[in-house]
A and B are shown apart, each in its own frame.
Chain A
């Protein structure tokens, strides 16, 4: 099955730093979603994007739906220890979600 490419695969940053990650696809999507997964738990929906070019924020998180509809970006500002986890992007294709491979974020105090 198709999976989206996410980069970077992992990030190690200091508390207070800003973080950027992205997701790319060879296919066009009409919707992009970003999820966060804590170890041993189910993913939690962070942001949903429905229009090409759309920029949406949720607290310290900002996500953008790429103009080409083949990519999306997630930024986290002023990271804190509880931002630790795996971040997944997902694109909507007909009646299914296609998930990215994930970006693992570690935050050091």
Chain B
């Protein structure tokens, strides 16, 4: 079955620690995205990548870092510099081209930092 996997579903960390969230897709999509969702709010774009070894900042990139060493994988690191890291994190992927606007989402990772 093709799809996007995110692991783990729930993640707990102490303040001051970096944490890496995993995102893998087997849809053969070129583009991948990371979003943050806070309670009662929409999705805000953190980073996105359209090609291996290249990525761009979204609207709220401060305190986050990413890498794109393989087409299938786009891990997100939440660093200790992120002031309010507790949130629901969603990874998405899409093709490039005319229908690249259709992004498909993973199940999400809920990060709690105390």
Contacts and interface: CB of A to CB of B under 8 A. Distances in A.
Interface string B58-88: 1110000000000000000000000000001
Contacts of A102: 40-42
B42 A40 contact: no
A33 interface: yes
B102 A45 contact: yes
A41 B108 contact: yes
Contact of A42 (B48, B59, B90, B100): B90
Contacts of A35: 105
Interface residues of A, number: 23
Interface in B3-30: 4, 6
Contacts of A92: 101
B69 to A, nearest CB: 21
A99 B44 CA distance: 8
Nearest to A32: B101
B42 A101 contact: yes
Contacts of B103: 33, 45, 90, 97
Interface residues of B, number: 27
B106 to A, nearest CB: 5
Contact of B108 (A40, A48, A100): A40
A43 B16 CA distance: 30
A101 B41 contact: yes
Nearest to A44: B105
Contact of A48 (B58, B60, B102, B106): B102
A7 interface: no
Interface of A: 1, 3-4, 31, 33, 35, 40-45, 48, 88, 90, 92, 95-97, 99-102
